[in-house]
């Protein structure tokens, strides 16, 4: 439990709902301690109230009455939104951001006073409580804040701490990662179809293969290389496939994908930062 802390989520989209679902279903916070603020979409906030029992609040009251604030709007809205909520932030608030590409330095620049800021990077599986989340601390955040963030995000999957300079790599690996896995699955399905299976059957086999392999990885605790070697007997079918994939530099292709996403994350971060500073200076 997070004692009797009160938490205010700003934004009411996919990720906000996923966080609420995690907190309520794992009993980390009672629903009446969770406030949701979104003056732009009150209907969605009311829907969250009906679904989870959270409390819709006006922006001022929601923030003032909270100990912890999670910002869950889009990165491109950061300058306008921070200007809107800044007057209500306090020094003793913990501000948790899930905004992709927005640094703790930029959030601090957009805030009027020093704030304990923690930046997180979850992924799409937050919605089913299986996100791989990473976080880093802003300059005014401490170990107590880190513990709180770990408690919150362990209700939605796993969480690890990294340095802020590594957040773009996190984005390139686990942030975009689910899409790479789906892409691999698409290729597996196409492979089965090319050899003569119907798409429906290839899809069913590929999907369950992914689920089974993921569960095996989790339950065994083994390194993926170890599991792969276990099912790769000399001169067998798996070895034939791996050798063929290696001849097309499978590992390099995936590594290059992660690097391209990491570079793009850096570029987008710069663009968001320039736009936000531009909005502030207007
Ligand atoms: N989806 C992912 O896989 C993923 C992964 C990692 C990180 N993230 C980050 O998570 C954040 C939320 O993503 P999402 O997928 O949940 O997006 P989303 O579904 O579009 O939700 C964004 C929410 O913010 C609201 N909003 C916009 N301006 C606001 C304001 N000034 N005050 C209060 N609420 C405001 C939006 O309301 P309206 O709909 O009325 O505009 C909407 O409810 C983003 O910053 C994204 O970078 C997402």
Break the chain into its structural domains and give their ranges: 7-167, 176-248
In testing the pocket of ligand 1, which one of 39, 46, 72 has its CB within 8 Å of the most ligand atoms? 72
Alpha helices per DSSP H over the chain: 14-25, 42-52, 59-64, 78-85, 104-110, 143-153, 167-170, 177-194, 199-220, 224-230, 237-247, 250-281
227 C-alpha to center of ligand 1: Å? 38
pLDDT by residue, tens only, the chain of 282 residues:
787 899 999 999 999 999 999 999 999 999 999 999 999 999 999 999 999 999 999 999 999 999 999 999 999 999 999 999 999 999 999 999 999 999 999 999 999 889 999 999 999 999 899 999 999 999 999 999 999 999 999 999 999 999 999 999 999 999 999 999 999 999 999 999 999 999 999 999 999 999 999 999 999 999 999 999 999 999 999 999 999 999 999 999 999 999 999 999 999 999 999 999 888 888
- CATH class of the domain comprising 7-167: alpha beta
Question: Do the beta carbons of residue 63 and residue 81 sit within 8 Å?
Answer: no
Bridge partners, residue 131, by sequence: 157
Question: Do the beta carbons of residue 107 and residue 82 sit within 8 Å?
Answer: yes
What is the Cα–Cα distance from 36 to 46, expressed in whole angstroms?
9
Ligand 1 atom 18: residue of nearest CA = 13
- pTM across the whole model: 0.94
Residue 277, pLDDT score: 87
258 C-alpha to center of ligand 1: Å? 24
In testing the pocket of ligand 1, which one of 11, 47, 78 has its CB within 8 Å of the most ligand atoms? 11
Of the CA atoms within 13 Å of residue 7, those in its CB half-sphere come to 27
Bridge partners, residue 68, by sequence: 7, 94
Residue 279, pLDDT score: 84
In testing the pocket of ligand 1, which one of 22, 40, 78 has its CB within 8 Å of the most ligand atoms? 40
- Measured N-to-C along each axis, helices 14-25 and 143-153 cross at an angle, to the nearest 10 degrees, of 90
8 C-alpha to center of ligand 1: Å? 14
15 C-alpha to center of ligand 1: Å? 7
Of all atoms in ligand 1, which is nearest to the CA of residue 84?
Answer: 31
- CATH class of the domain comprising 176-248: mainly alpha
What is the Cα–Cα distance from 23 to 7, expressed in whole angstroms?
10
Residue 281, pLDDT score: 84
């Amino acid at each position: 439990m997070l004692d009797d802390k009160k938490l205010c989520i700003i934004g009411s989209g996919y990720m906000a709902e996923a966080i609420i679902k995690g907190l309520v279903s794992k009993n980390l916070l009672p629903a009446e301690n969770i406030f949701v603020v979104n003056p732009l979409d009150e209907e969605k906030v009311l829907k969250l109230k009906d679904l989870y029992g959270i409390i819709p609040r006006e922006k001022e009251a929601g923030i003032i009455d909270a100990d912890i604030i999670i910002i869950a709007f889009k990165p491109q809205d950061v300058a306008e939104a921070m200007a809107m909520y800044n007057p209500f932030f306090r020094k003793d608030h913990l501000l948790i951001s899930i905004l992709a590409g927005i640094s703790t330095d930029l959030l601090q620049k957009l805030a009027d006073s020093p704030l304990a800021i923690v930046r997180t990077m979850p992924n799409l599986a937050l919605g089913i409580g299986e996100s791989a989340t990473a976080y880093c601390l802003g300059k005014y955040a401490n170990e107590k804040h880190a513990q709180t963030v770990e408690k919150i995000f362990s209700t939605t999957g796993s969480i690890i701490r990294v340095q802020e300079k590594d957040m773009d790599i996190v984005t390139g690996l686990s942030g975009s990662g689910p899409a790479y896995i789906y892409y691999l699955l698409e290729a597996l399905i196409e492979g089965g179809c090319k050899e003569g299976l119907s798409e429906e059957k290839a899809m069913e086999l590929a999907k369950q293969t992914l689920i089974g392999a993921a569960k095996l990885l989790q339950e065994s605790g083994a390194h993926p290389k170890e599991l792969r070697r276990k099912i790769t007997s000399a001169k067998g079918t798996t070895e034939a496939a791996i050798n063929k994939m290696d001849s097309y530099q499978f590992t390099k292709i995936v590594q290059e994908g992660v690097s391209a996403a990491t570079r793009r994350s850096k570029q987008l971060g710069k663009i968001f930062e320039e736009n936000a500073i531009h909005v502030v200076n207007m």
